[in-house]
Chain A
Amino acid sequence: MGKGEDYFARLAARGVSRRSFMKYCTALTATMGLSAAYVPKVAEVFAQPAQRPPVIWLHFAECTGCSESLLRSQYPYVDDLVLEVLAVEYHETLMAAAGHQAEEALHAAVEKYDGKFICVVEGSVATAYGGGYGKVGGRTFLEIAKEVVPRAAATIAYGTCACFGGIPAAKPNPGGYKGVGDAIGVKTLNIPGCPPNPINLVGTIVNYLLLGKLPDLDEKGRPLFAFGKTVHDQCPRRSHFENGEFAESFGSPEAAMGYCLYKLGCRGPETYNNCPVAKFNDGTSWPVEAGAPCIGCSQPDFWDTMTPFYEEF
């Protein structure tokens, strides 16, 4: 069996038909803004590419929600990503080794793949008091970022904390937290969200594996395929907004009818993300669909600029 066929056989054994898988690749390709001709190539990427590109994942001041969001990825599942698609050479939440064995693994990976690895950063970097509010293995996040990030082929800041500072940077920001790019003066590809939709990270990685380059970015370093439009412009409740049909209270008949949540504080008009279209957890739902106004979680400094969340903007 060829490698591709073996992959489809494994998928079938787990109840995922080739048809479902191709549907997913089609959706992913569409999300990335590529033409339909790319669909079989995307499928090939997951059916084992020629070599597994190395990924080093750094955790700084984070809640691990971003790593957890990637664990929710389906087609490919995380085991596909870790065992067949990528070489995730360092990830503190999953790795077996601890302590100095873990540190050695990080050091070895940086040396072996110098200039060739994708660095994914989760969490923001403390800069006050010499970065002393956050450490791993006795070294500050700042030190680690300065050492590892410049040696990557590309660095993806995953989650609003790594992109823009996130919650630790909210006023009064006791630790002097910053997004990793700002903290060390490096340009990062930013996939914000609190946490982001993993389909946007997977889409970015596939773009890189397929085309050998990162996707087109906006002025904030965010991939346009995911962050090119506002939530408002893609919202299924938009016609209610245009018709002046608003829910004015939670649990009201209007809320039950799915009216626009603008008056309950929805930040959709100010927020660039693809939540209404990509949805979360294998297309199950997204906040507005569950009756919860958008809080703008992929925007820089949203904890300060978008609050109070339940007041109309």
Chain B
Amino acid sequence: MGQRIIVDPITRIEGHLRIEIEVEGGKVKNAWSSGQMFRGIEMILQGRDPRDAHHFVQRSCGVCTYVHSVASVRAVDDAVGVKIPKNARLIRNLLHAAQFQHDHLVHFYHLHALDWVDVISALKADPKATATLADNVSGSKVGGANYYKSVQQRLQTFVDSGQLGPFANAYWGHPAYKLTPEANLMACAHYIEALRLQAKAARMHAIFGGKNPHPQSLVVGGVTCVADLTPERIAEFLYIAKETQDFVKNVYIPDLLAVASFYKDWGGIGGCTNFLAYGEFPQNEKEPESLYMPRGVVFGRDVAKVQPVDQMKITEDVTRSWYEEGGKPLHPWAGETKPLKENPKYDTASSGGKYSWTKAPRYEGKSCEVGPLARVLVAYGKGHKDLKPLVDSTLEKLGIPVEALFSTLGRTAARGLETIAIGDQVESWVMELVENLKNGDNSTYTPYEMKDGQGVGLNDVPRGALGHWVKIKDGKIENYQYVVPSTWNLGPRDAAGNMSPVEEALIGTPIHDPKRPMEILRTVHSFDPCIACAIHVIDPDSNEVYKVRVC
């Protein structure tokens, strides 16, 4: 009988997550993922003005800011049948690309890095040797022995103060930390640089969106920022994007590869089986054909056979979740689901016990990983002109086989690689916007009439595949559903007992010390959890099955 360990709260994520594992023979034998908070935004949306929905749903998450806003306006655009102008499509894509750059940078350094980087070890580093290491691996223009010495001194002063703040009571010195003191110091310096850069990068959202977090310029029918389509604003956006991309390519990716080279064994830990991507960044009105990041689903790791996505095959199951059950799992637009009206009992011990506020989405009944790795695998399988060479060259640089992609390391690397690919598109999209304006088209909004109907917005956002479904009656929201990346990745088991991706990924993880189960954080964090997004109420009363148009 294994030892049961609970890790709650999982920190360095968004939201409230509880992970329970059973450890036997030094490895994870079983795992349960539990979302611990419920707000009920879909219930709150009932009866409201569909044009307002994007403001509400954007507050699903302030780390994944913007993404629900764009998914929502796309769904309502679809419902009312409005075609947004070209400039609006470009602005929405540019804001989304900016979000990818920002979100992935912050994730690597400020949410994930401390699983791989030992800050206390950095205090023992030789600053000169650190500078040499940085010159060899990094393209950063900031460096030198004095620089690393000052970073080290700053950390030392902080530690000497005795007020350890975010570093208190952590896992420093754990044998699973493999970086040299110099690599640790280099990473700490870059952590601080990235913290400063992300504040600047967020200005891209403020330029066309008014502010970040929670930009406000999207509307059904287009965008509101017509007065910002000036050379000055566009140049400001472009140059911040370029500065951010410069950091991505010269600091983030080299750090990612340097860290990966010390942790190659994690290419064999934390993998999943099926991968789903809706795709993103429409290049024209045709979807999914024009999506820069393509749509597809991969089963059984067979990347050579990418299947098309049929969203009618998506179901959500609440057997193990704290909702009243309605029978078999149903498509988002069908079925009754209601949160249990009680302080829920957490039960992972019994075979049918409910243990999470998160529902269990499945595709053809199968549990699917979504996110950077799913997108990169689908793109790779389809021979994507930018992503395939990036993946191949990374595998070669690290000297690891393609199977290593199906792992915590692969997932973490994919996050970086897609940032390169997406960030590199920004300049061409900006130039397309400029050309359009030069040709005299400054339209940003298409007027429309509100009407009854239904619509869907499929997107692929930093954490994965995101879908919003809306049904409008008498000018009000009759029904609103969203199935969110972290619901896919971090939900509970389903009625058939299939584990969610994170639960599957945790099985077999080596645990050096059950009292300090740091290793599981590496895999959990590799999914970049957003639990506030993951949990939302599914619709009240609807027994009808609605026909859903695949965009």
- Residues of the A chain whose Cβ atoms lie less than 8 Å from the Cβ of B444: 250-251
Contact B63–A310 (Cβ < 8 Å): no
Distance in angstroms between the alpha carbons of A172 and B47 in the assembled complex:
11
- Residues of the A chain whose Cβ atoms lie less than 8 Å from the Cβ of B169: 97, 101-102, 104-105, 108
List B406-451 residues whose CB lies under 8 Å from chain A: 442-445, 447
List B174-210 residues whose CB lies under 8 Å from chain A: 192, 195-196, 198-200, 202-203, 205-210
Return the chain B residue nearest A93 by Cβ. Answer: B12
Contact A132–B343 (Cβ < 8 Å): yes
B505-531 vs A, CB cutoff 8 Å, 1 = contact: the mask equals 000000000001100010000000000
- Residues of the B chain whose Cβ atoms lie less than 8 Å from the Cβ of A282: 199-200, 203
Return the chain B residue nearest A67 by Cβ. Answer: B62
Contact B14–A93 (Cβ < 8 Å): yes
Least CB distance, B108 to chain A, in whole angstroms: 14
Knowing A52-B161, A95-B11 touch, does A256 contact B227 (C-beta < 8 A)? yes
Distance in angstroms between the alpha carbons of A304 and B96 in the assembled complex:
29
- Residues of the A chain whose Cβ atoms lie less than 8 Å from the Cβ of B305: none
Knowing A64-B532, A250-B224 touch, does A98 contact B7 (C-beta < 8 A)? yes
List B26-72 residues whose CB lies under 8 Å from chain A: 36-41, 43-44, 48-49, 51-52, 55-56, 59-63, 65
The yes or no answer to A115 lying at the interface (CB within 8 A) is no
The yes or no answer to B168 lying at the interface (CB within 8 A) is yes
Contact B55–A97 (Cβ < 8 Å): no
Partner of B52, one of A88, A91, A104, A308: A308
Knowing A68-B213, A168-B40, A251-B222 touch, does A136 contact B52 (C-beta < 8 A)? no
Contact B199–A77 (Cβ < 8 Å): yes
Least CB distance, A86 to chain B, in whole angstroms: 8
Distance in angstroms between the alpha carbons of A98 and B226 in the assembled complex:
45
Partner of A133, one of B38, B62, B202: B38
Contact A72–B199 (Cβ < 8 Å): yes
The yes or no answer to A66 lying at the interface (CB within 8 A) is yes
Distance in angstroms between the alpha carbons of A61 and B536 in the assembled complex:
12
The yes or no answer to B546 lying at the interface (CB within 8 A) is no
The yes or no answer to B3 lying at the interface (CB within 8 A) is no
- Residues of the B chain whose Cβ atoms lie less than 8 Å from the Cβ of A307: 48-49, 52
List B50-109 residues whose CB lies under 8 Å from chain A: 51-52, 55-56, 59-63, 65, 85, 106
The yes or no answer to B212 lying at the interface (CB within 8 A) is yes
Distance in angstroms between the alpha carbons of A258 and B150 in the assembled complex:
47
Contact B61–A64 (Cβ < 8 Å): yes
Contact B37–A134 (Cβ < 8 Å): yes
List A282-306 residues whose CB lies under 8 Å from chain B: 282, 284-292, 295, 303
Contact A291–B224 (Cβ < 8 Å): yes
Contact B214–A72 (Cβ < 8 Å): no
Most buried by B among A66, A82, A83: A83
Contact A89–B343 (Cβ < 8 Å): no
Contact A95–B168 (Cβ < 8 Å): yes
Contact B341–A292 (Cβ < 8 Å): no
Most buried by A among B39, B169, B198, B445: B39
B208-231 vs A, CB cutoff 8 Å, 1 = contact: the mask equals 111111111101011111111000
Knowing A131-B343, A290-B225 touch, does A138 contact B8 (C-beta < 8 A)? yes
- Residues of the A chain whose Cβ atoms lie less than 8 Å from the Cβ of B445: 249-251
The yes or no answer to B166 lying at the interface (CB within 8 A) is yes
Contact A89–B210 (Cβ < 8 Å): no
- Residues of the B chain whose Cβ atoms lie less than 8 Å from the Cβ of A168: 39-40
- Residues of the B chain whose Cβ atoms lie less than 8 Å from the Cβ of A65: 59, 61-63, 65, 213-214
The yes or no answer to B268 lying at the interface (CB within 8 A) is no
Distance in angstroms between the alpha carbons of A309 and B50 in the assembled complex:
10
Contact A303–B56 (Cβ < 8 Å): yes
Distance in angstroms between the alpha carbons of A281 and B339 in the assembled complex:
38
Q: Provide 21 A-B residue pairs closer than 8 Å at the C-beta atoms, listed in order of the A residue.
A: A62-B62, A63-B63, A68-B65, A74-B196, A87-B165, A95-B165, A96-B167, A129-B342, A134-B38, A137-B8, A173-B44, A174-B39, A250-B226, A286-B210, A289-B210, A290-B207, A292-B209, A292-B217, A295-B216, A303-B56, A309-B49
Q: Which 10 A-B pairs have the closest CB atoms?
A: A65-B62, A132-B343, A251-B445, A290-B210, A291-B224, A96-B170, A280-B211, A99-B7, A308-B49, A174-B40
A residues in contact (CB < 8 Å) with B: 10, 13-14, 52, 54, 59, 61-69, 71-74, 77-79, 82-84, 87-89, 91-105, 108-109, 126, 129-138, 140, 166-168, 170-175, 177, 194-195, 249-251, 255-258, 280-282, 284-292, 295, 303, 307-311
Known interface pairs A97-B11, A291-B225, A292-B210; 12 further A-B residue pairs with C-beta atoms within 8 A, sorted by A's residue number: A62-B62, A64-B63, A71-B106, A99-B6, A99-B517, A102-B11, A108-B169, A129-B341, A249-B445, A292-B217, A308-B51, A310-B52
